[in-house]
Amino acid sequence: MATRKGMGADRVLAKLRTSVDNGEYYEAHQMYRTLYFRYSGMEKWTELKTLLLDGARLLLAKGQTESGADLASLYIDVLAKSETFCDAQTVSNVASLFAAIDAESADRPSFLGRAVRWSQEVGPTAKGGHPDLHQAIGKVLWKEGDLAGARYHLIRSDDGQTCARLLVDLHTQRGAADEIDLFITQAVLQYLALKNSHAAAACFAGYLKWHPLVQADAPPFTLPLFNFLHYLLKAVESGEAGQFRALCDIYRPSLERDPTFAKLQARVGLVFFSIQPPQRQQGMLGNLIQSLMSGLEGGDDSDSDGDAASGTSTKSPVPKVAKMDTGELD
């Protein structure tokens, strides 16, 4: 038998749904906000999550993007205040709201930023956001055709296989024939730079398996960088620093095809082999100038995927190696 409390909540939801169905969008939105403040003061988090999720979906389905996105953002705030864990159902809820917000809306990046921060706060080991949330957002963006945005998020997930399938699409649609090895090399190095060797290995194996132009799934490969990645993953597994150094030296000519690989290699060396990156030699004046300027410059570690971090498409024809945010790597 339903409790009086549950019946009361159901009546509120029914009344609000009727208002939305009758086109009373502004009135319904204001009532949702009023209940948000009232229920927050009473810490009625369960009821409030249900209320806001339902309201956001209703308004977004009616094309009321601004009002729906506002309720969606309040839903994220309640997740944070109630310290709701980033479980499968909640991630699904968040991803469904993200998908329902118009891709061209300025509210979408703000919503996603709030969601990533929430997932980071409830799972502090995931400094760049919970990998399950990144996986779900990546799949939404891929379905929408935003391959660059999907790649950004899948690299930050644990789903190396889905990322491999995406990379195949990305290369066949936007890449040149001689870049087939660059696409997977950048992804594997980024996964490793983010300390995710399992996803790196799954991504590499999937790319070899599903790319129509790859004829082998084990060495020796005709493309040097495929051999490099195969033995790099073996070295990471064994922790042999000498093997890592040797690989970087042997395959240096191939790795230098993209100079941005060097920074990722240095990070991998530090993370898995405790190899400190070489310090640049500077004179006293140079060090003084660098020290003075470091507080004025914004830094160069922003991700070159650009707005992909916020869920908007960069539409770049051939994605370059994304520079990794050092805050995500620590």
Q: Considering its fold, how many domains does the chain have in total?
A: 2
pLDDT tens per residue across span 224-265: 999 999 999 999 999 999 999 999 999 999 999 998 899 999
32 pLDDT above the threshold of 50: yes
Instruction: Kindly write down the DSSP assignment for every residue of 167-235, as one continuous string.
Output: HHHHHHHH--GGGHHHHHHHHHHHHHHTT-HHHHHHHHHHHHHH-TT---SSSSPSSHHHHHHHHHHHH
Residue 262 sits in a domain of what CATH number?
1.25.40.10
In this structure, the answer to whether residues 166 and 104 fall within a common structural domain is: no
In this structure, the answer to whether residues 101 and 185 fall within a common structural domain is: no
CA distance 237 to 232: 9
**Within a domain: 288:** no
In this structure, the answer to whether residues 220 and 316 fall within a common structural domain is: yes
pLDDT (0 to 100) of residue 326: 35
- What is the number of other CB atoms lying within 10 angstroms of the CB of residue 305? 20
Instruction: Tell me which DSSP letter residue 322 carries.
Output: P
Burial class of 220 by CB neighbour count within 10 A (0 to 12, 13 to 18, 19+): exposed
pLDDT (0 to 100) of residue 13: 81
CA 194 to chain centre: 12
In this structure, the answer to whether residues 51 and 195 fall within a common structural domain is: no
pLDDT tens per residue across span 69-81: 999 999 999 999 9
**Within a domain: 131:** no
Which residue segment(s) compose the domain that 243 sits in?
161-279+299-330
317 pLDDT above the threshold of 50: no
Of 60, 13, 52, which is closest to residue 36 (Cα–Cα)? Answer: 52
**Within a domain: 287:** no
From 68, 95, 124, the end of a domain falls on: 124
In this structure, the answer to whether residues 113 and 206 fall within a common structural domain is: no
**Within a domain: 68:** yes
pLDDT (0 to 100) of residue 321: 39
Percent of the chain with pLDDT over 90: 74
Which run of H or E residues covers position 122?
helix 107-122
282 pLDDT band (50/70/90 cuts)?
A: low
pLDDT (0 to 100) of residue 322: 43
**Within a domain: 135:** no
In this structure, the answer to whether residues 242 and 106 fall within a common structural domain is: no
Of 15, 99, 85, 24, which is closest to residue 49 (Cα–Cα)? Answer: 85
Please give the model's pTM, rounded to 2 decimal places. 0.84
In this structure, the answer to whether residues 185 and 264 fall within a common structural domain is: yes
In this structure, the answer to whether residues 116 and 173 fall within a common structural domain is: no
9 pLDDT band (50/70/90 cuts)?
A: low
In this structure, the answer to whether residues 59 and 186 fall within a common structural domain is: no
**Within a domain: 230:** yes
**Within a domain: 143:** no
In this structure, the answer to whether residues 114 and 227 fall within a common structural domain is: no
From 70, 105, 124, the end of a domain falls on: 124
277 pLDDT above the threshold of 90: no
**Within a domain: 169:** yes
In this structure, the answer to whether residues 204 and 259 fall within a common structural domain is: yes
**Does 12 or 227 have the greater pLDDT score?**
227
pLDDT tens per residue across span 211-232: 999 999 999 999 999 999 999 9
pLDDT tens per residue across span 85-140: 999 999 999 999 999 999 999 999 999 999 999 999 987 676 789 999 999 999 99
From 124, 141, 169, the end of a domain falls on: 124
In this structure, the answer to whether residues 83 and 215 fall within a common structural domain is: no
CA distance 318 to 176: 8
pLDDT (0 to 100) of residue 125: 72
